[in-house]
Amino acid sequence: MWRIGIAQIDIAIGQRDRNYKKAASWMENFFTPSELPTVIVLPEIWDVGYAIEEGEKFADPHGEQARNFLGGLAKKYGVWFAGGSVLAKTEAGIVNRAQVINPAGELVSEYDKVHLVPLMDEDQYLTAGSKMGTFMLDDIKAGCVICYDIRFCEWLRAYALAGSKILFISAEWPKIRIDHWKSLLKARAIENMVYIVACNRVGNSKDTLFGGASMVIDPWGEILYEGGEGEEGYFIEVDPEKVQPIRDHLQVFRMRRPELYSGLCE
């Protein structure tokens, strides 16, 4: 069993110190010790908010500052952080980078958002990633994706085929399309027989209202937790060992016909 903490918070644009204090305050207010290993999930670009057009000004070189900050919290509370992306400056450009940090405060994995949102001009301001974000939670394989990625069913299917039992999703998803968010998350859980752990931000930025509705969904598609529209925190237990029996029972992966799909969807 694992315990998952969803940090559904508001984010201040360009105010890194304020957002760091918000994350630290969330841990102080909501965290309680447990014998179960615990993973905390933050929203997309939780460090500086959706300031992509000012990436050169606000981006954290290689995400190092955020990594050190979360590493300190991880050691203090003895938890993992999985997901919660930051605006990171790299040699290739500005990226939207999810970080995975273990209870020793060490960075164990990072994932740069692969699918950039043209409606938000992300493709103009950011550099897309090109690698899957899988990692090991002790002996459990898991993965990170970010927001718009969930619209690409084949990308999340690739994580499932690679053995991921939990997918952590960080987002800044607007309220106006929150029904899409809920439907897509449930579909991704059902079709891949995987736990979906999704943390969305709340509040307003640049005339956009973000919808919250963070969710934890089990491999059968049952909603175990759904957040509201305001700031909140919630902890829930999940059992990754339930995943493989469901996959064995339904046999979807075994019955795939990839030789027929190849070239049809390009």
Residues that are catalytic: 44, 113, 147
CA R_g for the chain: 17
Per DSSP bridges, beta strands 2-8 and 232-238 are antiparallel
The CB density around residue 80, as the number of other CB atoms within 10 Å, is 25
Nearest in space to 143 (alpha carbons), one of 153, 131, 126, 152: 131
Read off the amino acid at residue 85. S
In terms of DSSP H, where are the helices of the chain? 16-30, 55-58, 64-77, 122-125, 153-161, 178-192, 243-250, 258-261
Q: 78 and 111 in contact (C-beta within 8 Å)?
A: no
Identify any residues that bridge with 100 across adjacent strands, giving them in sequence order: 82, 109
DSSP characters over 94-160? EEEEEEEE-TTS-EEEEEE-SS--GGGTHHHH-PPP-S--EEEETTEEEEEEEGGGGG-HHHHHHHH
Burial class from Cβ neighbours inside 10 Å (0-12, 13-18, 19+) for residue 246 reads middle
Return the biggest CA–CA distance within the chain.
Answer: 52
Phi, psi of 64 (to 5 degrees): -65, -40
> How far is Cα 255 from Cα 175, in angstroms, rounded to an integer?
37
